[in-house]
Structure 1
């Protein structure tokens, strides 16, 4: 039997903790490494990923000097070499250093320590992103933190530049929420959207996508301004930025977002034979459906489908799924077949009952059908 992959065990395990203990001992010879490792590993089986970060941080607090400044000197000496500055994407670093940033967030969150804490996070984020830790400072010291983030956005190190965008994201997954004017952060994104590294550009796009969920107009206006400025000389990179920034609005059928990507809101097409092959399916099986598209003129199409789910309180929830993007000539005819697996998911609880499936093309609903899911 294949053992199920565990992200928390892959990122935080005995080998990783021992590695951290060796680094700390090198900076602080009286550090009780064996006790540090044994205490943490004893707790790990009962802890989830973020709880393991807290566990390590708490052990650091027990063993490092009681004064923040003294402890911080040790932690900074503990840091390994910086991540490769020549990489351009997906270089998050080692999660085992997340507890160090958490230590700063929990123990250095005083006005007298601000300069020390900001400097420490600036160094730590070159080893592992401090996007969560900085948010505690943003909430307590918004003005000072904004100045710090502006400085990070102008750094020669792309991990620091990414922090300026990622840390200010309105809805950053896995992290604490922030009370910060989302409009104000655009000034920082203005300096980052044409960055030469995909790691930074993706963060900017994710940042805009967060904003799109509650302020679509600001996202559209910002992208239109950037398009006119033409500072991103890599055209493919700017297309990536727009597509990634607008993905939520596209799924919602926002006409302005679709137009920016070159899709007409009312394509001249007809849909025939849209139907589900099954009127009833059981959990763990596929729903098969198909349809035919006929064009009346040349068309660029974004073809999606939407599942509308029943819930426990008789309300409906929905989710849009991608099929394909395609460009068709006038009088073209294309038959598309698709299947959707209904399985147990951690992100959405499924209930038995009547479901609806809708065909969405360029943000508009063109056809729909119904089926039942039984357990």
Structure 2
């Protein structure tokens, strides 16, 4: 399976070299430790090597990048906004903003803009507000994605983590956006905010029912709060248990090795037909103590008595490392615990 850093193929680098009149560009870029570089490091390597082939004047260099960017669409084209981030002089703010706006149409400027957001938040948010009203969905998305306080792979924005209110007018302007590309960004941004300032997202749930696009955004923006079983959020989405609901016959793989798979099943009985959000939580054993993670099984109409079964991988991942010990499995319905059992995880089996 190819790695994301491999998007910079020999052919792509040769084409870029031709576009900047640098026949040796591929060889220059790939010298030394190229194979060891991660994706973002390769982006920076290419951007910095472009410097020697582009005009010394920033205005001319930016214009040249804007001209060739349509020939290099998609993720690899992120090197052009990266060049703007690195080499825009302090007194070229407006030209840098114009370049990032134009370049994001062909790739994304969401990482490059953060230098400017960190340097002058008020001034940048004025620009981002204008972008939020653009006719181009890529530019509207940049208004949201570029200001996300915890953008994956991007620099954190401590001031907006501490107080996200300055960016809310931008997100509010995009709550009915026609483009799914934009709506996903707004939902992810609001979900980021929900992790530290849930009240700001809960306030916006009053807009449920005003527009289908708004409903979609707010539902996805509330996923962390729903997993946390937040009462007000569950109620806003109609997930309030009626009548009597029970969970029984919970069975689970009693013992499994790291690298194996947990299998479990159970029955749900409800005295009233209703939509139920059915989840499970696993209390994972960590180096120190335990850490709980919630997973969704379904959210649908349940009538009478129904059976559910699920499997959960215990393979080690870069994002989750497993440890031996007694783990706990809990079945959650509409955010409340209904049944709990334990199972043991042993060391990974060796051949």
Match of 1:217 in 2: 199
Instruction: Give, in whole Å, the separation in 2 of the partners of 1:60 and 1:267.
Output: 67
Match of 1:95 in 2: 75
Instruction: Give, in whole Å, the separation in 2 of the partners of 1:187 and 1:248.
Output: 22
Structure 2, unpaired ranges of 5+: none
1:188 is displaced (CA, Å) by: 0.7
- TM-score, normalised by the number of residues in structure 1: 0.87
Write out per-residue CA displacement over residues 46-79 of structure 1, whole angstroms, 9 at most, x where no aligned residue. 1111111011011012322333223223222222
Match of 1:289 in 2: 264
1:289 is displaced (CA, Å) by: 1.1
Instruction: Give, in whole Å, the separation in 2 of the partners of 1:177 and 1:109.
Output: 22
Match of 1:303 in 2: 278
1:301 is displaced (CA, Å) by: 0.5
CA 1:17–1:328 in 2, change beyond 3 Å: closer, same or farther? same
1:103 is displaced (CA, Å) by: 1.1
1:40 is displaced (CA, Å) by: 1.3
* Residue 106 in structure 1 maps to residue 86 in structure 2: yes
Of residues 61-70 and 171-180 in structure 1, the stretch that sits farther from structure 2 once superposed is 61-70
Write out per-residue CA displacement over residues 252-311 of structure 1, whole angstroms, 9 at most, x where no aligned residue. 1111111222101677301111121x2211122221111111112222101111111111
Q: Is the 8 A contact 1:20 1:96 kept in 2?
A: no
Match of 2:329 in 1: 357
Q: Is the 8 A contact 2:208 2:215 kept in 1?
A: no
Number of residue pairs matched by the alignment: 343
Q: Is the 8 A contact 2:242 2:272 kept in 1?
A: no
CA 1:74–1:311 in 2, change beyond 3 Å: closer, same or farther? same
- TM-score, normalised by the number of residues in structure 2: 0.93
CA 1:222–1:239 in 2, change beyond 3 Å: closer, same or farther? closer
Structure 1, unpaired ranges of 5+: 25-30, 83-92
Report the RMSD for the aligned CA atoms in angstroms.
Answer: 1.8
Alignment partner of 1:248 out of 216, 224, 237 = 224
Q: Is the 8 A contact 1:305 1:320 kept in 2?
A: yes
* Residue 50 in structure 1 maps to residue 40 in structure 2: yes
Match of 2:67 in 1: 77
Match of 1:89 in 2: none
Match of 2:237 in 1: 261
Instruction: Give, in whole Å, the separation in 1 of the partners of 2:334 and 2:15.
Output: 51
CA 1:272–1:72 in 2, change beyond 3 Å: closer, same or farther? same
